[in-house]
Chain A
Amino acid sequence: MFLEIKGLKKYFKDVKAVDGIDFNVKEGEIIGLLGPNGAGKSTTISMISTLIKPNSGSIYYNGEDIIKKPKAIQQDLGFVPQEVALYPTLSGLENLKFWGKIYGLKGNKLNQKIEEISEIIGITDRLKHKVEKYSGGMKRRLNIGAALLHEPKIIILDEPTVGIDPQSRNHILNSVKEINKKGSTVIYTTHYMEEAETLCNRICIMDRGKMIASGTKDELLDLINANDRIELKVEKINNSLIQEIEKLDFVSNVKTKDNNIVIEWEGKNGNYSKLMNVLAQEKNKLLSMDVKKPDLEYVFLSLTGRALRD
């Protein structure tokens, strides 16, 4: 196994930041650690990055115990912290040169990698400007670029898109995909469910220091056996309408919420017209309709009883 984590625990006084988690990372995949703030994602990757030592448990990288031998992973690792860990009064180029040298690059190889990476992260034309003059998105991209220069075998990104505009966010997500295509394994932490869904091959859902579920998106959805949901806003909600909807064989659950009817159902094409027929028979007027496919947010809600962003 490329990276194998077993029984990992990290307590800060009485706080169980990470409370006995197990998971594996396969070479070449993008694995997401999804969870709300305080779930233990950053503590977990800090332990993988050898920045903090666990209270117990093991982390094996290519068969080597990196708790005992941190060097085994350090030079193969590209770590992108959540904060922009750069020197704001130095230029982008000076920053990249510094971080490249930190990872042992020098001379032509370093210059060539700077050229290549700045192209990927899209800051080539601003390289000579001071980082403090960059926009938030550019700083984030440079923050990632600094971890890519030495062609790391494993890249850990800790919530790299927090607080930036959608354009920069897309750029970062595309960059991560590109990096992965070039052969790097990626561990990506986020509390944005959409990012985990679109980016990751596999997702580990964490909450309160524990790993509550892991697998591909479909595997996670299977865990809760979730149906599509449709939210109807109608002119008038009455018992007769609810009863008629409940009689439909593809409907598994009907609830009312404010002026809306929330229906859990098997959302096939033909079923839509059957539902509309019921509304017509009841002479009720449809004001709006919102179809919701089951997502990781819903998985998290089902497993923890709380929303991902609570």
Chain B
Amino acid sequence: MKNIILKDIKLMLSDKKALALIILMPIILTTILSFALSGSFQDAGSTWKMKIAVVKQYEAEDDIDEFVKTIKSYSKEFTVKTDMSAITENIGKFNPEKIFLQDFLGNEKLKQIVEYDICNLEEAHKLLENKEINAAIILPKNFVYDSYINMFTPFRNNIEIQVLGHPDMYMSYSYRITQELIKSYNNIISSIVISKNVFMESASKYINLDEVMNGIETVVSGFETNGNDINITSENLKGKNYVSSFAYYTAAMLAMFILYSSGFGGKFLLEEKDNKTYSRILSAGRKKSQILAGKFIMMFVIVIIQSVVMILFSKLLFDINWVSIKLIILTIVLSSLAVASLGMIIAAFTIKTNNYKSADAVSTAVIPLLALFGGSYLPVEQMPKIIGTIGKYTPNGAVLNSYIKIIEGYGISEILPYYMILIVDILVFTVISALVFRGGAKDA
């Protein structure tokens, strides 16, 4: 048995082309992707901040004048004896620009992660081109006017705040966070507008419009307290390590390239059958199960070698902190078992069909698909949710998540769900391969 296993490992190691694919390729790809897609990742360390440019396309004073004019025209139209001085006073208290820049972006919590500068559109474009900022927020024409209309009248004007990003950074966290910020700002404003509208509608039945208009101020002033609703999720990550692009892609490429080792079991088994060493071993009284076990252990060992090489490479060259040796060893062992058992399914189909198509299909179609779903190309958070959900149950997805959690500094309890997925994968693959082998036993 030991003899068969050693022979299989020797055969694998003598296949220079295969070795280059499974050992060198992930190293090269990790290096390339880590540098190329570093924009998609935040830098390590707690001092990280997003840089945002805010472009004002409105004239605040003109907007206020315009709004006063509009209100006056309403007063005439509806013959309401509105106390204009009260409205003007309220306008002074409710400053949309101040709310957005100081109360919202300048909020104590947001200040931890956002740094903004005000500039014009042209400057913003230049800064984006030079990647000196992560995103630009464009406050549109009539921003102040429309905000007043929304706050102090029964009407609602659409305010479209745009977020600009560099094409290379559309998928980056920073760009997406900025979009989320604008969304939450809009939500807060919407909730105030809805409250105001409800108040106006209900109050107008019982009190005169003058009192209604004055009461709006009270409703709108509630915004300052609502500002406390902004939660920055980075708070939840306190005490955990940041995952750099180098760390992410080391884990991602490792999770993907170990899958390629699963094709070797089938390939070697069919070669063994084709060149009659398979039957020669059997004629010497050895069992088929010994030959299959040799292939399984060969794949298991190869994945261990791949994993150790990648981890050492990333440690030495990118200075990645893998935090827990014990968890790394456990992950390597489980991932090696998962890949080897997946390899046995491929081997079973290869032997059953008596050609390399199964192994080839895995290399050319299945692995890239698993890699995509498992997050090896891009973090699943940056892809549609369904991909992340499916990917979580793939062996490479579970391996990648395990490694990322280890790098982030989590303990076994947080990584256990991924280990459970791997264990389930191992069991399912083993059962499937046993069934296929049994079905193909006559042919083999």
Contacts and interface: CB of A to CB of B under 8 A. Distances in A.
Interface string A77-104: 1010111111111100010001101110
A103 B282 CA distance: 11
B10 A85 contact: no
A51 B7 CA distance: 22
Contacts of A87: 7, 11, 277
Contact of A86 (B10, B14, B277, B279): B277
A94 B8 CA distance: 12
Interface stretch (B110-118, B174-182, B283-291): B283-291
Q: Is the interface of A mostly helix, strand, loop or mixed?
A: loop
Contacts of A77: 283-284
A73 to B, nearest CB: 9
B277 A85 contact: yes
B182 to A, nearest CB: 61
B280 A74 contact: no
A99 B285 CA distance: 12
A142 to B, nearest CB: 13
B3 A83 contact: no
Contacts of A70: 285
Nearest to B16: A89
A267 to B, nearest CB: 45
B54 interface: no
B443 interface: no
A106 B275 CA distance: 25
B285 A74 contact: yes
Contacts of A71: 285
A75 interface: yes
A148 to B, nearest CB: 13
B8 to A, nearest CB: 10
Interface in B137-162: none
Interface in B268-283: 275-277, 279-283
Contact of B3 (A49, A50, A98): A98
A104 to B, nearest CB: 9
A90 B284 contact: no
Nearest to B276: A85
Nearest to B3: A101
B7 A90 contact: yes
Interface string B11-54: 10011000000000000000000000000000000000000000
A10 to B, nearest CB: 14
Q: Identify the interface centre among A71, A82, A99, A102: most chain B CB within 10 Å of its CB.
A: A102
Given A74-B285, A102-B286, A90 B280 contact: no
A85 B272 CA distance: 8
Contact of B7 (A79, A81, A85, A98): A98
Contact of A50 (B7, B275, B283): B283
13 contacts: A46-B279, A50-B283, A74-B283, A74-B284, A75-B285, A85-B275, A85-B279, A85-B280, A87-B11, A90-B10, A98-B7, A99-B284, A102-B284
In the A-B complex, list the 5 residue pairs whose CB atoms are closest, starting with the nearest.
A74-B285, A85-B276, A101-B3, A89-B14, A79-B283
Given A79-B283, A86-B277, 19 more contacts: A51-B279, A51-B282, A70-B285, A71-B285, A74-B283, A74-B284, A75-B285, A77-B283, A79-B284, A81-B276, A81-B279, A83-B276, A88-B275, A89-B11, A90-B7, A90-B10, A90-B11, A101-B3, A102-B284
Interface of A: 46, 49-51, 70-71, 74-75, 77, 79, 81-90, 94, 98-99, 101-103, 146
